[in-house]
Structure 1
Amino acid sequence: MTLRAYAGPVDDEQIERVRQAALAADGDVWLPGPGGDLPAEACVVAQDAGEIVGFGRLDRWTEDDGTEMFLVTGFVHPAHRERGHGTAMLRRQEAYAASLGSGAAHQQLGGNADGSRPGSRQLLLDHGYRVAFTVVDLSRPVAAAVPGALPPGLRIRPVLAAHQPRIHAVIVECFTDSGHGFMPTDLDTHLAGVRDTDLWAVAWDGDEIAGLVISEREGDGVADSPWVAVRPAYRRLGLASALLAHSLAAMREHGVSVATIRTVAENPHRTVQLYERAGYQVVRRMPRYRKPLAAASS
């Protein structure tokens, strides 16, 4: 067994073959692939008798609270598991992350493994990773959706281009310091991603935004709601539930059949329960594991 850096497109066909075999064994999970602007050293290939049997990559970003994250992901062909390939790739990527570390106070290694990947979960646990938070995916049909009553004094207004700076500011205000991996974007990035505003529900109190639900079409009759935000002064009034109902009703009117939403189980606002009351059902739980970068050698 040997490890080496990704050699470029010449490796892609074999990597994809291994990736598809891993997906067939593990089910509908996210697995990394080559791509992006990563240096070759950030992607590692495991070989057995000259044949590619595993692939891993290291992604790096800084979260809103200043945490510098190094996410280690990878997979091994099912026929070559339990031979040390995963451990070797993990250790190599941890060492590479340590070589990149800036020495900042908050540097974390991260790894993902849901219930369908017990081997990956155990690998992370054996190397000192612990669950930091759990991402939860939920879904519901929209056929029976009807608008809900807003709290007194608030009203839904059509979304205009002039509203976007305020909408962006509300998202940043509500999610900054969440501690669950939020990465703020600047206004230009937000504007570049604006679409499907006919599905949005934005509640106003006079000239101030009180809360919002942003939804986007994903194709095949599915729409996702990546942002649900209620400003602190308007919480505990039922506004989030009312906005969800308005957004779901808009989806129904525009031919959407299934609504999806993602949250964090540890959210202090008990968002999983909020969405379940709105008719959503949990379809997947995805623990996010972390450990301090300084512990990479442990």
Structure 2
Amino acid sequence: MRMLSWRPLTSADAQTSADLLNAIETVDQIGEHYTAEDTLTELIDPYADLERASLAAFDGDAMIGYMKVRHKPSAEHVHRVTMDGGVHPDHRRRGLGTALVEAGIEAAKTVHALHHPTLRLVVDVHKAAQIAGVPELMRSQGFAPVRHYQRMEHPLTDLPPVSRSPRIEAWSQQNDEDFRFVRNESYADHWGAVAMPADQWQNKITNQTFQRDLSFLMRDADGVAVGLLVTMSWEADTEVTGIRDAHFMLVGTRPTWRRQGVASALIAHALRAASSLGYDQASVQVDTESTIFEKAGFTARMRYVRWAREAT
């Protein structure tokens, strides 16, 4: 094998990043496919400090492994940074994964010292449970499973009729800030979540995968925004699988309006809307403790594990 070269990621790596992730998908089979536009969105994330907190391995011009760390824009008591990464299937079992995780932990310490130095630092890694070798690698580096999630799917055929609610409206430029406000209010007590500032909202939510016609806001009788559902869809997935998937990325209700049917109404409305627009299925990734999607007819398809370790 040729000598590898190592350097931080840059925004110019969008295509080779997509090539690597698509090669990984051929083996890991987690249902994620990428275009260069998708990976560029990740690379220009305002809370991914690529120079200080990323590393990629190259064999010639081809990227064969990477890691990147995202810090939180805000934190209380604990600063949970997120580390992501992967190794090309042809280059696994050679120590690259270990080297990248070790580099990621050190990078997490670096950005933590810059942004939230007085808080405890925890490094999180979120991976599909079926990926071979991940549990062994995580445990060898001091990580332990702390939460479990699942991908759930719902076919968009034979849907029961639902009454259209005048209190449900689609996303627009005019109500975008209402969407972000409801997201931040409804996720404030979710495990590990922090408020999304406007720049993160634009990067992570209203990007090229955002489906504005399938993203809805619900208001109460006084016109106050109380719940939201945000849908995203990836063209690369559709191209490979032939399935148009409406992925419910965010579903939330402000605390005062919970247990009043807000989320259920939004889900039912979005399912019917997705069906009318020619989508084949809807999906969501949710904590295994949540039951609302099972009640709405979704079926679990894949499990994910959130690994974490304190870094000192």
For this structure pair, what is the TM-score category when the shorter chain's length is used for normalisation?
0.7 to 0.9
Moved more, 54-63 or 136-145: 54-63
Task: Please say if residues 228 and 266 of structure 2, whose CA atoms lie closer than 8 Å, have aligned partners that are also in contact.
Answer: yes
Cα distance in structure 2, aligned partners of 1:135 and 1:86: 23
Task: Please say if residues 214 and 228 of structure 1, whose CA atoms lie closer than 8 Å, have aligned partners that are also in contact.
Answer: yes
**2:180 aligns to what?**
168
Task: Please say if residues 80 and 192 of structure 2, whose CA atoms lie closer than 8 Å, have aligned partners that are also in contact.
Answer: no
Q: 1:86 aligns with which of 87, 97, 100?
A: 97
**1:228 aligns to what?**
251
Cα distance in structure 2, aligned partners of 1:200 and 1:12: 31
1:129 to partner: Cα distance: 0.7
Cα distance in structure 1, aligned partners of 2:135 and 2:65: 17
Cα distance in structure 1, aligned partners of 2:157 and 2:8: 47
Task: Please say if residues 7 and 40 of structure 1, whose CA atoms lie closer than 8 Å, have aligned partners that are also in contact.
Answer: no
Moved more, 2-11 or 193-202: 2-11
CA, structure 1 residues 236+70, in 2 after alignment: closer, same or farther (shift >3 Å)?
A: closer
Q: 2:87 aligns with which of 65, 71, 76?
A: 76
Q: Cα deviations across residues 49-107 of structure 1 (Å, max 9, x unaligned)?
A: x9989422222221654443443333334454334332233223323333443133132
Cα distance in structure 2, aligned partners of 1:186 and 1:22: 32
Moved more, 223-232 or 280-289: 223-232
- Residue correspondences, number: 284
Task: Please say if residues 31 and 73 of structure 1, whose CA atoms lie closer than 8 Å, have aligned partners that are also in contact.
Answer: no
Q: 2:295 aligns with which of 261, 264, 277?
A: 277
| 1:113 and 2:127 aligned | yes
Task: Please say if residues 248 and 283 of structure 2, whose CA atoms lie closer than 8 Å, have aligned partners that are also in contact.
Answer: yes
Q: Give the TM-score normalised by structure 1.
A: 0.75
1:171 to partner: Cα distance: 1.7
SS of the residue 1:179 aligns to: coil
| 1:251 and 2:274 aligned | yes
Q: Give the TM-score normalised by structure 2.
A: 0.72
CA, structure 1 residues 205+229, in 2 after alignment: closer, same or farther (shift >3 Å)?
A: farther
**1:204 aligns to what?**
220
CA, structure 1 residues 181+131, in 2 after alignment: closer, same or farther (shift >3 Å)?
A: farther
Task: Please say if residues 102 and 141 of structure 2, whose CA atoms lie closer than 8 Å, have aligned partners that are also in contact.
Answer: no
Cα distance in structure 2, aligned partners of 1:276 and 1:109: 30
CA, structure 1 residues 217+19, in 2 after alignment: closer, same or farther (shift >3 Å)?
A: closer
1:227 to partner: Cα distance: 2.2
Give ranges in structure 1 of 5+ residues lacking alignment.
Answer: none
Cα distance in structure 2, aligned partners of 1:228 and 1:28: 22
Task: Please say if residues 212 and 229 of structure 1, whose CA atoms lie closer than 8 Å, have aligned partners that are also in contact.
Answer: yes
SS of the residue 1:101 aligns to: helix
Moved more, 284-293 or 51-60: 51-60
1:3 to partner: Cα distance: 7.0
**1:26 aligns to what?**
28
Task: Please say if residues 8 and 40 of structure 1, whose CA atoms lie closer than 8 Å, have aligned partners that are also in contact.
Answer: no
CA RMSD of aligned residues (A): 3.9
Cα distance in structure 2, aligned partners of 1:55 and 1:253: 41
**2:288 aligns to what?**
265
Moved more, 1-10 or 110-119: 1-10
CA, structure 1 residues 182+136, in 2 after alignment: closer, same or farther (shift >3 Å)?
A: farther
| 1:127 and 2:127 aligned | no
**1:55 aligns to what?**
65
Cα distance in structure 2, aligned partners of 1:281 and 1:187: 34
SS of the residue 2:129 aligns to: coil
Give ranges in structure 2 of 5+ residues lacking alignment.
Answer: 239-243
CA, structure 1 residues 25+214, in 2 after alignment: closer, same or farther (shift >3 Å)?
A: closer
Larger Rg, first or second structure (1 or 2): 1
1:173 to partner: Cα distance: 0.7
**2:50 aligns to what?**
38
Aligned-partner residue type, residue 190 of structure 2 = S
